[in-house]
Amino acid sequence: MDTAPAVRLDNVSKSYADSYAVHDLTLDIAPGEFFSLLGPSGCGKTTTLRMIGGFTDPTGGTILLGGEDVTALPPDKRNVNTVFQSYALFDHLSVAENVAFGLKRKGIARGEIRERVHTMLERVQLDGLADRKPRTLSGGQRQRVALARALVNGPQVLLLDEPLAALDLKLRRRMQVELKQIQREVGITFIFVTHDQDEALTMSDRVAVMNEGRVEQCGTPEDVYERPASRFVASFMGTSNLVPGTYRSGEVVLDGGPSFPVGSRDGLTEGGSVSLSVRPEKIWLSDFEPGMTLLNGVVRETVYSGPTTTYLIDLAPGVTVSVLEQNTDRSRNEDRWTGGEDVQIGWKPEHCLVLH
């Protein structure tokens, strides 16, 4: 980075008794970046967020904001704001009063407060609801109030702890797009905690996938989805076929099934246990191209879900892969398999990952 990272975590750890919630975590987050901490419950993502915000003290390591060591500073001495899942709004105050709360505590002049609150409410599309009480608002509107209250203070970093989790699916997807647009407009570094892979892929510039207190992979959404570095990342990021096998002489021999060439791969040892990873949407059922890996199988089950159809295909006893096809004009109902048919599947070699 040409400038100091907005946030730097240097070997940060948090332990409780003899177990680690976060273990030797090192990350650099760039100014103006939308950065997501993604992982299942208990992986350490919220603990990491709380340590950045000053709500939890690290057991070891250093936390820097804009190059300044803030490890020992309390939350009110750090130039960060937090949006919580519960929103934590004051029900006895109006929308405008909620947004102005932090500015009043800082002693900002009344005229400037009024102008900044009005500008921020316009940005989050709530300018017509300034006099309403939070309890009269929808979930999405309350989420916007919480966001406006955090942003109006002009923080160096905004921390978001699963702020969309309480919303229904349709509203959550709309808010994902709006939140990304707002982040681009204000140019503030966002650190977003979520267990939802779709949220992380939709909004993030980079994603850190966490597991058991460590980062298993950090990269762009495309990197972590298309090129997972481990079995955990491959299985957690969307749906992936993970088939166990053995690496022998440039081939993967599937357990109880066929073998096929994968060429030499860095880090693979002869006779070593591996997993084959191919995304369901990367597998073809027809119109194969030269150079594709082809395997024979039997359709076990067909699952129709509107825009797509998923086929479960047995390659050998105990070896089943999932194949996802888009339902286009060329894939009419009469062309859909129902189960028991012999089929051939194929994929391009570059879409096949061999993982330890």
Mean pLDDT of 229-238: 90
Say if residue 50 is in the same domain as residue 156: yes
More confident residue, 160 or 332: 160
The pLDDT value recorded for residue 25 is: 96
Mean pLDDT of 142-153: 88
Provide the residue range defining the domain that includes 319.
239-355
HSE (CB half, 13 Å, CA atoms) of 13?
A: 12
Helix (H/G/I), strand (E/B), else coil: 221: helix
Helix (H/G/I), strand (E/B), else coil: 102: helix
How many Å apart are CA 299 and CA 297, to the nearest integer? 7
Mean pLDDT of 23-34: 95
pLDDT band with cut points at 50, 70 and 90 for residue 275: confident
Mean pLDDT of 263-279: 82
- Tokens 């999932």 locate to 322
The pLDDT value recorded for residue 28 is: 96
pLDDT band with cut points at 50, 70 and 90 for residue 330: low
Mean pLDDT over each residue of the chain, to the nearest integer = 89
Say if residue 256 is in the same domain as residue 349: yes
More confident residue, 86 or 248: 248
Find the Cα–Cα–Cα–Cα dihedral 311, 313, 319, 322, rounded to 10°. Answer: -20
Worst-scoring range by mean pLDDT, 7-21, 61-75, 79-93, 197-211? Answer: 79-93
How many Å apart are CA 274 and CA 277, to the nearest integer? 10
Number of domains making up the chain: 2
Say if residue 222 is in the same domain as residue 243: no
The pLDDT value recorded for residue 270 is: 84
Say if residue 215 is in the same domain as residue 264: no
Q: pTM of the prediction?
A: 0.87
CB-CB contact of 73 with 66 (8 Å): no
Mean pLDDT of 79-99: 87
Say if residue 221 is in the same domain as residue 265: no
Beta bridge pairs of residue 243: 276
- List Cα–Cα distances, 295 to 22, 35, 108, 214, 237, in angstroms: 43, 39, 69, 37, 25
- Tell me the one-letter amino acid at 47: T
pLDDT band with cut points at 50, 70 and 90 for residue 194: very high
Q: Which of 42-56, 240-254, 333-347 has the highest mean pLDDT?
A: 42-56
Nearest to 265 by CA among 243, 248, 290: 248
On whether residue 233 sits in a domain, the answer given is no
The pLDDT value recorded for residue 232 is: 93
pLDDT band with cut points at 50, 70 and 90 for residue 329: low
The pLDDT value recorded for residue 350 is: 86
Worst-scoring range by mean pLDDT, 165-179, 219-233, 300-314, 323-337? Answer: 323-337
The pLDDT value recorded for residue 335 is: 63
The pLDDT value recorded for residue 2 is: 55
276's tokens? 């084959």
Q: Give the list of residues 6+ apart from residue 290 with CB closer than 8 angstroms, or none.
A: none
Residue-wise DSSP of 154-211: --SEEEEESTTTTS-HHHHHHHHHHHHHHHHHH--EEEEEES-HHHHHHH-SEEEEEE
Say if residue 54 is in the same domain as residue 200: yes
More confident residue, 85 or 39: 39
Indicate whether 96 pLDDT > 70: yes
In this structure, what CATH number is given to the domain that contains residue 297?
2.40.50.100
How many Å apart are CA 322 and CA 24, to the nearest integer? 37
3-state SS string over 198-266?
HHHHHHCCEEEEEECCEEEEEECHHHHHHCCCCHHHHHHCCCCEEEEEEEECCEEEECCCCEEECCCCC
In this structure, what CATH number is given to the domain that contains residue 137?
3.40.50.300
